[in-house]
Amino acid sequence: RSSQVPADASFSPQGKASSPSSAGSKAETSPSPAAPTSSSGKPSPQGGSVQSSGQGRGRPSTEGSRYTSGLLSLLLRAYAKRQRPPPALCACIPRPSEAAPSMSNDGSLVQTPAWDGYVQRVANPALHARNCDFALSLSKLQRQILVLIQEAKAA
């Protein structure tokens, strides 16, 4: 990605960009790959990988978690069509104790906020236990969900 730091900016030893001519410009509020900063000029709390493409540890849950949430919604829909509760995916995030999602008469999925929260928690690798396989790899979770969707459709 191209940086939006002005050409006359100088870099400090800590990697911060400073521009003498633009005190509150957009260039200072946009983080550069080398030194992410906030509008106050302080380093951002996420560290140096804010501009990552979703592959690194800076933003692992943006694109990957959305995709995983979508897969989980498909899984819930597949099990609801068969009037079965979905399986627990891992032991570190328990399923809600409320009624499993079901299908309405018009074919839409009916689920409680607890199940919606469950989907969001499972899709976020940071919320899994450190020893959980899914905490380190969203791709493992996604493969497991795809297998369960296929099994539900075959049953």
1 falls in which pLDDT band (50, 70, 90)?
A: very low
Mean pLDDT across the stretch 38-66? 47
| pLDDT tens-digit map of 71-110 | 999 999 999 999 999 999 999 999 999 999 999 999 899 9
Instruction: Give me the helix-helix angle, 63-81 and 113-123, nearest 10°.
Output: 130
Residue 25, pLDDT above cutoff 80: no
| pLDDT tens-digit map of 110-138 | 999 999 999 999 999 989 999 998 988 88
Q: Where are the alpha helices (DSSP H) in the chain?
A: 26-29, 63-81, 113-123, 133-136, 138-154
Furthest C-alpha separation in the chain: 67
Scored b (16 or more CB within 10 A) or e, 103-126 reads: eeeeeeeebeeebbebbeebbbbe
CB of 36 within 8 A of CB of 111?
Answer: no
| pLDDT tens-digit map of 59-72 | 445 678 889 999 99
32 falls in which pLDDT band (50, 70, 90)?
A: very low
pLDDT at 62: 66
**Angstrom distance (rounded) from CA 41 to CA 80:** 50
Count the neighbouring beta carbons within 10 Å of the beta carbon of residue 36: 21
**Angstrom distance (rounded) from CA 150 to CA 138:** 18
